[in-house]
Amino acid sequence: MTPLRVLAPRGLVDQVLVNLLLNFRAAMPDGGTVEITMSVTTVESEAKGELEPGRYLAFGVADSGPGMPVEVAEHAFEPFFSTRAGSHGTGLGFSTA
């Protein structure tokens, strides 16, 4: 298979991964496991959305934490939504990612 060239600002990719990892760490204060996977996926010509047809690198993230309650998950990607009290977060981690 031909290597896949990733056309993305390195700093932006770093920011997304750091935001996700910080959220995972906060969600698992007693420790746990975080898994980051990468795979190549193909978007076909009839695909809808903003992506052009072609091969793409897909990131997957998972943790061994307890998960989010439904009422939190419904808002998790909204800017400035946070479950942290006081000044312990901006609520931009997931929305940035």
Please indicate, yes or no, if residue 1 is contained in any of the structural domains: no
pLDDT in tens, 1-38: 677 788 889 998 888 888 888 888 888 889 999 999 99
Q: How far is CA 66 from the centre of its chain?
A: 17
35 is a domain residue: yes
Structure-token match 């800017």, residue found? 79
Report the domain count for the chain: 1
Cα-based distances in Å from 36 to 43, 54, 81: 21, 23, 24
Tell me which amino acid residue 84 is.
Answer: R
Distance CA 7, CA 15 (A): 15
Range of the domain at 68: 10-96
Q: What percent of the chain has pLDDT over 90?
A: 10
The secondary structure element, H or E, covering residue 37 is: strand 34-43
Give a yes or no: residue 3 inside a domain.
Answer: no
CATH of residue 54: 3.30.565.10
Say what the pTM is: 0.66
Distance CA(32)–CA(65), nearest Å, equals 7
